[in-house]
Amino acid sequence: MTTRLGTLLLADARLPVGGHTYSAGLEPALADGLTVDRIPDYIAARLRTVGLTETAASVLAHRAAGGASGPDGLGIDAGALADVHDALLARSPSAPLRDISGLLGRGLVRLASRLWPEHPAVKALRNLDRSPQRPVALGVVAAVMGSSEDETARVALYDDAQTVASAALKLAPVDPVDAAGWVLGSEGVIAEVAAEALAVRDADDMPARTAPQIEGWSLEQQNRTRRIFVA
């Protein structure tokens, strides 16, 4: 199957949606003493916890948006989309992380509203919340761009791993080639977690895996004045 350009764009940090402000929790983790050699473990831990929960939300949002309908598609189920959003909020106990997710989600909404202002799924996303959680926005935008749900799951997980790896380059003495190796090394975990996320049937069935340590770090980061990343 050919990969859609939209999927490649969603995986590209050059897509202007504000991703450069986010370290996926790595900055406070390093501040609390996480060592560089443990960063690959940190990536895997995220993928298996918040990564699974958020990716399941992206997959469900993708389905609620009518699947890979492309820019002219219909079939949006606004009720199902709202259910996914509520279910994700209920599984995101850290207030600062909900806020950041909303900010990143707003970046995607801004992009989608400019590119497809009249698309029913984009309208439903805008009606959901001024700052919808990023995984839900990602699922909708992926559907509008014509990505399959499998691609959507993989891009969500890849982006999480790559966000940590590229933030590491700004925060620690890391060889950029090693960071690329960490991302490639997460292939197996990403495949497993993507399969789990794709098997989720509906919002009631959504996993609620969280990472209490990452949530704790996010609260510390919120109160820090010397920081490079917002979270």
Binding site for another protein (CB under 8 A): 14, 16-23, 103, 106-107, 110-111, 114, 167, 170, 225-230
Nearest alpha carbon to residue 18 among 122, 106, 96: 106
CB of 149 to another protein, least distance (A): 26
Choice between 6 and 66, CB closer to another protein: 6
- Whose Cβ is closer to another protein: residue 48's or residue 123's? 123
Q: How far is the CB of 210 from another protein (least distance, A)?
A: 24
Least Å distance, CB 202 to another protein, is 31
Min separation Cβ 12 and another protein, Å: 11
The residue among 26 and 57 lying less far from another protein, judged by its C-beta, is 26
Ranges of H-type helices in the chain? 5-10, 26-31, 39-46, 52-64, 78-90, 95-115, 120-128, 134-144, 149-171, 176-185, 187-198, 212-222
Closest to another protein by CB, 106 vs 154, is 106
Cβ at position 105, least distance to another protein in Å:
11
Least distance in angstroms from the C-beta of 83 to another protein: 26
33 torsion bin: left (phi>0), alpha (psi -120 to 50), beta (else) = left
Residue number, 47 or 231, with CB nearest to another protein: 231
Q: Which long-range contacts (CB under 8 A, 24 or more apart) does 44-47 make?
A: 44/186, 44/189, 45/211, 45/214, 46/160, 46/161, 46/164, 46/211, 46/214, 47/157, 47/160, 47/161, 47/186, 47/189, 47/190, 47/193
Q: How many CB atoms lie under 10 A from the CB of residue 109?
A: 24
Nearer to another protein, 24 or 87 (CB): 24
Q: How far apart are CA 116 and CA 101, in angstroms?
A: 22
- In this structure, the chain runs to a length of 231
